[in-house]
Amino acid sequence: MARALVIFIVLTLLPIFSASGKDLRFAVVPKFYSTFFDQSGNGCKEAAAQIAGVECIYRGPKVANVRMQDRIIEQLIDEGVDGIAVAVTQSKFLAENSLKKAKKAGIPIITYDSDFDISPQNNYHSLRLAYIGTDNFELGKALGEELKKLRPNGGTLVIQTGRPDSPNLNQRIMGIRSALSGKSYDAAPGLLLKNDRGWTEVREPFSNFDQLTQAVKQMESVMKGKPIKADSFIAVGGWPQNNVDLYRSMITPFKDKIDNKEVIIIMTDAAPRQLTMLQEQLAHINIGQSPYEMGRKAILTLHKIVTKQQYDKMIYTPMRFCTQQNYDTCAKLQPMEAMAN
């Protein structure tokens, strides 16, 4: 196992020679700069460094804002980049503005982390050539299945999300609801749980709009039991824990509730700082994604597209399950991401 890991790392670091006759500039555009997305930037830059004549441009808004993201994509188009990988903040706006312009300019587009919505009215998938990232519905199902293990007889639930119109986050919410209710839904995010197999959502999901302080305050209301009373909390992103100091100071007074499982806490993402929360037993489970690998595969895929090589149109990056028992080894499951931090 260890030897295989070393071989993997060595092979990953070997240089790849570009099949193109000119220098290529590829852009990775996150929803916004954050601990999570910056790992995709690291993966992008490391992959580009291994291909002669290829440059990675990692550029995004400071806060999650679809109009700002749209303007950045337009800037990249005007700069003449050779390909763009974008984490979709809002499908309709991007599709009908900057990404339409990119397609007209002949610039290949792929999505990562967050794909376009699929709805009966619109299917924007024709704008992108590939998707790289987590299978977001399956991530949501995994969050729900882990909750069922810890609370097998059902209970009351609050879900926390970022933007209510975020395509990938709505897929995760639908996955949670499907796992808990046993139902299938026609469109994301599915329907609010109302005594479905013993599970009830006490309110619509909290939307924190990627504001970390707001995310912690929303979670605190659940931990206090007022004004929101529920025995389970799932965040479909890592927002509360992305400000570790604020999270720790908020949740430490409620440690007895965590130890006694009065409130089950399940979080998405497993950055090293988040794993310290498991070590301190200030959460029950973190399900991690692979943002470094998303950025790395994005550059490799764009390079294959531009140089007319075969490429995979759908690449699902792995998840990892981190608990209070395995937190010390969980980070080692993603060695390349750990190296990037």
- Tens digit of each residue's pLDDT (9 = 90 or more) over 226-256: 888 999 999 999 999 999 999 999 999 999 9
pLDDT at 334: 56
* Token pair recorded at residue 88: 């979709």
CA distance 233 to 156: 9
pLDDT at 121: 65
CA distance 118 to 125: 8
Mean pLDDT confidence for 74-83: 98
The pairing of beta strand 320-323 with beta strand 285-288 = antiparallel
Q: Provide the pLDDT confidence category of residue 18 given band limits of 50, 70 and 90.
A: very low
Q: Provide the pLDDT confidence category of residue 329 given band limits of 50, 70 and 90.
A: confident
CA distance 254 to 152: 23
Q: Look at residue 287 and tell me whether its pLDDT is greater than 60.
A: yes
CA distance 265 to 77: 42
pLDDT at 64: 86
* Token pair recorded at residue 237: 């992103």
Annotate 165-231 with DSSP letters as a single string: T-HHHHHHHHHHHHHHH----SSTT----SSBTTEEESSSPEE-TT-HHHHHHHHHHHHHTSS---S
Query: Which residues are CB-neighbours of 61 under 8 A, at least 6 positions away?
Result: 31, 32, 33, 68, 69, 72
pLDDT at 120: 57
C-alpha 322: how far from chain center: 16
* Token pair recorded at residue 267: 């979080």
What structural domains and CATH numbers belong to the chain? 2-134+290-318 (3.40.50.2300), 136-288 (3.40.50.2300)
> Higher model confidence: residue 10 or residue 217?
217
CA distance 30 to 18: 25
In this structure, are residues 37 and 89 in contact, taking their beta carbons and an 8 Å threshold?
no
CA distance 264 to 251: 12
| φ, ψ of residue 213 in degrees (nearest 5) | -65, -40
CA distance 59 to 81: 12
Mean pLDDT confidence for 308-321: 96
Write down the pTM of the prediction: 0.84
Q: Look at residue 17 and tell me whether its pLDDT is greater than 80.
A: no
Q: Look at residue 67 and tell me whether its pLDDT is greater than 50.
A: yes
- Tens digit of each residue's pLDDT (9 = 90 or more) over 116-156: 987 656 678 888 999 999 999 999 999 999 999 999 999 99
Mean pLDDT confidence for 150-169: 95
Average of per-residue pLDDT values in the chain: 90
Q: Look at residue 308 and tell me whether its pLDDT is greater than 90.
A: yes
